[in-house]
Amino acid sequence: MGLPVTVYSSNDVGAPQLSSTTKPLPSEIINILKKCLVEGYGSKAPLGWSVAFEDSGTFKIAFRNSTVDGSGGYVQYWSDNGLDATNSNLSLKSAMGMSALDNFNKAGYRFRHWNSTTNKKWTLIGTSTGFYFIQRFTTHDLNFLNSSQYEIVYFVGDLDSNYINDSCKFTIAAPNFGGDMTNINYGHSLAILGTTSCNKIYGVDGNEKENPHSVDTGTYTSSVTGSNYTLETQGITPILAPVIIRTTSPSSTDIDNISCSISGKNPWFRGVIPGLVSIGFCGYGDHTWPTIKNWNGHDYMLLRGYYNGVWLNISEWYS
């Protein structure tokens, strides 16, 4: 059995909201995270994470996932300028350990949370060990978004690792994320297709060797933008291909200077991003979000974006 998935949304009764007239504030986004991960709201229970450290005065907080179901990994969010203002940006960083705010052990790169006056609603989808955060584009509700209409989907938490005792599987997963980020665009959303850089990850056995990794949707070499076709009208059976995480370079080596392709310590194939699949088809661009299909007894939701070929299991992960 896997872990059940909960979908939280700004449309829920009692859900925390983002500013309706200005760019949402860091405190509002942090409050959403606290409500979904730790506290709950309305009739919805929290996911079972904890607050490890917090400095409310500088809008900085670190969350930890479940130590029962997961790795006990950490993610820190913080206001870049320490203020709660419309010109404040929110960053985040994952780590396998923390002893205090800003004190990381086996940390990943810094990611930038997308925040804009055009993104006034939100959806968070997750479990006790991982979650996807979506600050939704609200100018229209169609699935297709052009390259200037940002809805950045990223994952925080434990990968569905190929290694049962993987001690360094907690990460932030997003495309085109090969170093500390200062700017963000549509290409940093997991809704895109292809193979791109995706953070750095340490050894399965906890060793300090950090290798750059990539997110790989696998089923596409080219992608179709703005497709309004559907699986039903085209008579196509979808391919539910998991989106994988692997080392970026085939020449990467492990802690013992052995090729990652034959290493069990820093392996080439690390695992998959929980619940995320590429179906080998781009479509439903003119359909209204959310578009949900049931395949193999699980519900899948189409991620909005430039290609409309990536779907997220909203029923169960890690099965």
Say if residues 297 and 213 touch (Cβ distance below 8 Å).
no
pLDDT for 219 equals 67
Q: For the segment 266-303, what is each residue's pLDDT rounded down to a tens digit?
A: 999 999 999 999 998 999 999 999 999 999 999 999 99
pLDDT for 61 equals 99
- Name the token pair of 11: 């449309």
Average pLDDT rounded to a whole number, residues 187-191: 91
pLDDT for 47 equals 99
Say if residues 18 and 24 touch (Cβ distance below 8 Å).
yes
Rounded to a whole number of angstroms, the CA Rg of the chain reads: 19
Per-residue confidence band for 263, with pLDDT thresholds at 50, 70 and 90: very high
Full-model pTM: 0.96
Q: Which amino acid is at 255?
A: I
Per-residue confidence band for 186, with pLDDT thresholds at 50, 70 and 90: confident
- Give how far Cα 169 sits from Cα of 106, 160, 164, Å: 11, 8, 10
Phi, psi at 153, each rounded to 5°: -105, 125
pLDDT for 59 equals 98
In whole angstroms, give the CA distance from residue 247 to residue 235. 36
pLDDT at residue 315 is higher than 60: yes
DSSP 8-state code for residue 33: H
Strand order in the sheet with 170-173: 6-9, 121-126, 130-136, 153-158, 170-173
Per-residue confidence band for 21, with pLDDT thresholds at 50, 70 and 90: confident
Peptide bond into 290 cis (omega under 30): yes
Phi, psi at 284, each rounded to 5°: 65, 25
Bridge partners of 295, per DSSP, are: 298
Residues 6+ apart with CB under 8 A from 265: 203, 204, 205, 207, 209, 254, 255, 256, 258
Q: For the segment 83-111, what is each residue's pLDDT rounded down to a tens digit?
A: 999 889 999 999 999 999 999 999 999 99
pLDDT for 285 equals 96
Q: For the segment 43-86, what is each residue's pLDDT rounded down to a tens digit?
A: 999 999 999 999 999 999 999 999 999 999 999 999 999 999 98
pLDDT for 150 equals 87
Closest residue by Cα to residue 155 from 16, 310, 319:
310
Say if residues 137 and 115 touch (Cβ distance below 8 Å).
no
Q: For the segment 116-168, what is each residue's pLDDT rounded down to a tens digit?
A: 888 899 999 999 999 999 999 888 999 999 888 889 999 999 999 999 999 99
Q: For the segment 9-20, what is each residue's pLDDT rounded down to a tens digit?
A: 999 999 999 987
Tell me which H or E stretch contains 27: helix 26-34
Q: For the segment 203-257, what is each residue's pLDDT rounded down to a tens digit?
A: 999 999 999 999 999 866 567 888 999 999 999 999 999 999 999 998 999 999 9
